[in-house]
Structure 1
């Protein structure tokens, strides 16, 4: 079986709406930031990190379904998440376990 036939069989076996057929979240995020639909994470970090002086920044996550950046911090032994609306840059929630 040649490569073209194998590719056609595999392509037909993948449902159109499947995760394999979708654009990866990081590509969509990059594209949306570039076109101005989302605030760059670096801008949000520049605004928020100085306010979190006594905490260790553990890093970000992005939820594409909600358009939310989630920044994770360790503050006095407690984990703190700060959720930021990626479209506006506004903090929408602070949570800790």
Structure 2
């Protein structure tokens, strides 16, 4: 059985653009850090993993970054306001 894609990867391109626009607006209003700032903090800590993308939960201001290594998916949750890693699931 095939694994389900995360919402960010399963979305149509127009929906992803819409989410990115919402993230941009939230950043512009000072509500959250930009996706690029979050990526710049987290990706270097994930050496050996392939970065697959992010999702932003607008109700909690939590970014979830998705990584893969050796077929194993890892999600890293990051506080969008502070940039601090708050959780990690997977190996």
RCO greater where, 1 or 2, for CA within 8 Å and sep 6 or more?
2
Q: Give the alignment's Cα RMSD to 1 decimal.
A: 1.8
Q: Distance in 1 between matches of 2:84 and 2:21?
A: 23
Q: Distance in 2 between matches of 1:30 and 1:65?
A: 15
Unaligned runs of 5+ in 1: 1-23
Provide closer, same or farther for how the CA distance between residues 77 and 27 of structure 1 changes in structure 2, counting only shifts above 3 A.
closer
Q: TM-score, normalised by structure 1?
A: 0.66
Mapped pair 1:73 → 2:76:
no
Q: Distance in 1 between matches of 2:19 and 2:51?
A: 23
Q: Distance in 2 between matches of 1:66 and 1:36?
A: 14
Q: Distance in 1 between matches of 2:54 and 2:30?
A: 20
Unaligned runs of 5+ in 2: 1-17
Q: TM-score, normalised by structure 2?
A: 0.70
Could you say which structure has the larger radius of gyration?
1
Provide closer, same or farther for how the CA distance between residues 26 and 50 of structure 1 changes in structure 2, counting only shifts above 3 A.
closer
Q: Which runs of 4+ in 1 moved over 3 A?
A: 24-28
